[in-house]
Each structure stands twice: as structure tokens, then as C-alpha cells.
Amino acid sequence: MSSPSPPGESPAAPEKSVAAEEPLRRLERDGVQYTLIGTAHVSRASADAVRDLASQAQFDAIAVELCPARYDALTAERNWTDLDLYRVVREGKAGLVKAFQDATAVFDSSGLCVFTTFAWTLADIQPQIAAACEGDWSMDKMNLVGERIWNLEKQFNLAAGLTKKDDDLPPRLKTEPAKVGPAKGLVSGIEKMLPEYYELRGWDAEGRPKKETLDRLGLR
């Protein structure tokens, strides 16, 4: 339990490891000592400040105060019963696929084991590549490199005779619904996601890179 502040003392200064901008106050009431810290849920620094404070002292309990609107959003049953799981599970997945493919292409071409992606992101390997290689290896350049690689591979596949019909999944994933989890009862929905994926890639309806895409990537 944290040490109490003498009655009437002004708010205590935060510990060194706590972000200075986070308001911190200690007080005692009815023999119980309290430590209060103001937080902003959208701030990483604020979350780190709370984590630091919680690790510095032994508290009997830690509580979070929520505004009525946020509490209702987390606990109201209607928010869950009215949730459209089809929308949650399926929307935006094409963008995730593209981002992961581009990042994986960079990892593979860097010589690093792709298994590191279970813990690392491009932001983790970017300084390593920048230190080892000459030139611009900013995050924007890394993302561009991944996109170029994927489009080069697509051009190779097209030249080898592969077509839109080969951008597919095994029948089981298209016909056998998931048995558990938030996607329970759903199949992949690739027929809906593939056109969105092609559009994000800058490919035409047949899955071929458009002229402007190749020009942008310097592949013509």
C-alpha cells in the first residue's frame, strides 16, 4: 500500500517513471489510503504511467472509474445481442491480408526468419535494415518494398498461366462453417472479399496489376 500524504498536503509529484503530465494525488479517508491517477485511454504514455505506478507499490485493490457512457458500452447486454458478427468478422479483412502479405514479403527478403513476425513488426526490423544497408529504409520505403515484391510475384504467376480462378481457398474453407469462436456458423466469404482485395492492390477485376499500379511501383 502506498504511503499516505499528510492531511492538507498538495498533490504529490509523480514518480520518475510515471509520465509527468499524468495528474497524481494521494489521500486518506476513514483510515484507508488512496492513490488516484488521471488517465487518457487513447494515450500509450498514459497507459504506461498507470502500469509503472501499479508496479511500484503494493495495492490492496485497483479500480477503474468509467464515465456512464463507456460503462454502458462495455456492460449493456443489448450492445452484444445487437452486434452484427457477420460485419465484425468479414469487414476489413482484405486490408489485413494485404498488409500482412506486404510485411511478410519484407521479412522474407531481409533474410530474417519469418517466425519472428509472431513477436516483431516492420517497426522492429526497420532500424536493423537501416543500420545494415545503405539508402532510404524508412517505414514508408519498407511498405513500398513489400508491395513491389508482392506485385512482382503476381506478375510471375500471371506469366506462368495462373488466373483469377487460382486466387481461391480450399473447398472446406468455403463450405464448412466454423464450429466455435466469433465466426461460428460462418465460412470464409472469399467471393465478397476478393474484389475488395483486388481494388486495394490496384489490380483489375481479373486480378491483374493495373498500368498505374505498375508505374507507381516502378515495375514497367
pLDDT tens-place string over residues 141-154: 999 999 999 999 99
**Comparison of pLDDT for 68 and 85, the residue scoring more:** 68
Question: Rounded to whole angstroms, how far apart are CA atoms 207 and 198?
Answer: 6
CB 200 within 8 A of CB 94: yes
CB 57 within 8 A of CB 45: no
Residue 133 has pLDDT above 50, yes or no: yes
Torsion from C-alpha of 92, 140, 204, 167, nearest 10 degrees: -60
CATH match of 85-217 with 1.10.599.10: yes
pLDDT digits over 21-69, tens only?
Answer: 556 778 888 888 888 887 766 566 777 778 888 887 778 888 887 777 6
Q: Which of 8-12, 85-89, 196-200 has the lowest mean pLDDT?
A: 8-12
- The DSSP secondary-structure symbol of 28 reads E
pTM higher than 0.85 for the full model?
A: no
Q: Which three cell numbers stand for residue 50?
A: 498507470
* pLDDT value at residue 48: 79
Residue 116 has pLDDT above 80, yes or no: yes
- To the nearest whole number, what is the mean pLDDT of the chain? 81
Neighbours of 29 (CB within 10 A): 7
* pLDDT value at residue 68: 75
* pLDDT value at residue 83: 58
pLDDT digits over 151-181, tens only?
Answer: 999 999 999 999 999 999 999 989 999 898 7
Q: What are the sequence ranges of the domains in the chain?
A: 1-83, 85-217
CB 40 within 8 A of CB 97: no
**Comparison of pLDDT for 6 and 121, the residue scoring more:** 121
* pLDDT value at residue 182: 74
64 in the Ramachandran plot: left (φ > 0), alpha (ψ -120 to 50) or beta? beta
Helices then strands, counting H and E runs in the chain, come out as 10, 2
